[in-house]
Amino acid sequence: MLKLRQLSDISELQVICEKYEQIMLKLNWDILKNRTPGSTEDFFHYDQEQLVAYLAVYRFGPNIEVCGMTHPNYRRQGLFTSLWQQAADSGVFSGAHRVLLNVPRASASGQNWIHTLRTSLNSVEYTMKLDEHGSLLDPVMHEIASLRLFQEEDAPLWARLDADAFDIPESSTMNALSSPHGPLSKIMHVIEHQGLAAGKIEVSREDKQSWIYGFAIDPALRGHGLGRSALRQVAAEEKRLGQEVWLNVVADNNRALHLYESCGFVHQDIQDYYEYQGIPLRSAAQV
């Protein structure tokens, strides 16, 4: 579990790095704020009292994602390479099906560093924000989907939908749902149609931003507008609360991309995911 001081330091460094390169860093704050006590998935480098480099490890089912940052004034000193080596030496990557390193497309420093490692581009993700005048917020007289909060007996549904939509093993989802240290800021909705469970959609609130994720409709019920209806209701509620509405979508998911664009979501950023294919190099270029 991260201390409040550590969370504050990470947030401060994120603001500095994002402003310097005009980028968005995907730090998964819902996970950082709810790390399991005793977890060793965060690696820090301080210069006296100031955090100047940070690397975070996130486990999603059989896969691991890595994200991090270095203060602009401390780059090309090998600090992030050292944190990467510490993570590798700690054994935190053990048992992972693949290790994916998340780098904003617009980050010159991140893109330069990633090419010092043996990696290949695995996927590209768009970060999108709902426009204030998006059609998603247009009123509809009768919604065809209804929403209710997740209940314990919905766990098998969650696991099945995660496996189908995101290739996450059902056992991994069931284990995550049973953990007493799950994200507290997450709102989990079951999407229903005429009393039949048809899908799921989740929301995580980070200050004034609401992030939609884990959005999936049962394959047998797709193509009937249930997803659009559920998305509209969730977005409208978040806007009512004064929140901005954000989401990420994989670039080659044409069905989802078309839905979001048609509803008024606008591209804000591009995130590249590189699959790691080698042993960390102690002699990697200094970043």
pLDDT in tens, 176-208: 888 765 555 589 999 999 999 999 999 998 889
pLDDT, the chain, mean: 90
pLDDT in tens, 204-228: 988 899 999 999 999 999 999 999 9
**Mean of pLDDT values over 76-96:** 94
pLDDT at position 5 is: 94
Does residue 285 register a pLDDT over 80? no
Q: Do domains 4-125+272-276 and 132-263 have the same CATH topology?
A: yes
Q: How far is CA 54 from CA 12, 67, 157, 278, in A?
A: 11, 9, 36, 21
pLDDT at position 185 is: 59
Q: In whole angstroms, what is the distance from residue 39 CA to residue 69 CA?
A: 20
pLDDT in tens, 111-163: 999 999 999 999 999 999 998 776 676 667 678 999 999 999 999 999 999 99
Give the full edge-to-edge strand order of the sheet including 119-130.
42-47, 50-60, 63-70, 98-104, 265-276, 119-130, 244-250, 209-217, 196-206, 186-193, 146-149
What is the percent of the chain with per-residue pLDDT over 70, rounded to a whole number? 92
Write down the residue that tokens 């099945």 correspond to.
160
Q: Which helix (H) or strand (E) holds 155?
A: helix 155-166
pLDDT in tens, 43-78: 999 999 999 999 999 998 889 999 999 999 999 999
Instruction: Name the residue ranges covered by the structural domains of the chain.
Output: 4-125+272-276, 132-263
Choosing among 3.40.50.300, 3.40.190.10, 3.40.630.30, 3.40.640.10, the CATH entry for 4-125+272-276 is 3.40.630.30
Q: Label residue 280 by pLDDT band (50, 70, 90).
A: very low
Q: DSSP states of 172-190 as a string?
A: HHHHHHH-TT--TTEEEEE
The domain defined by 132-263 carries CATH number 3.30.1130.10: no
Does residue 1 register a pLDDT over 90? no
pLDDT at position 283 is: 37
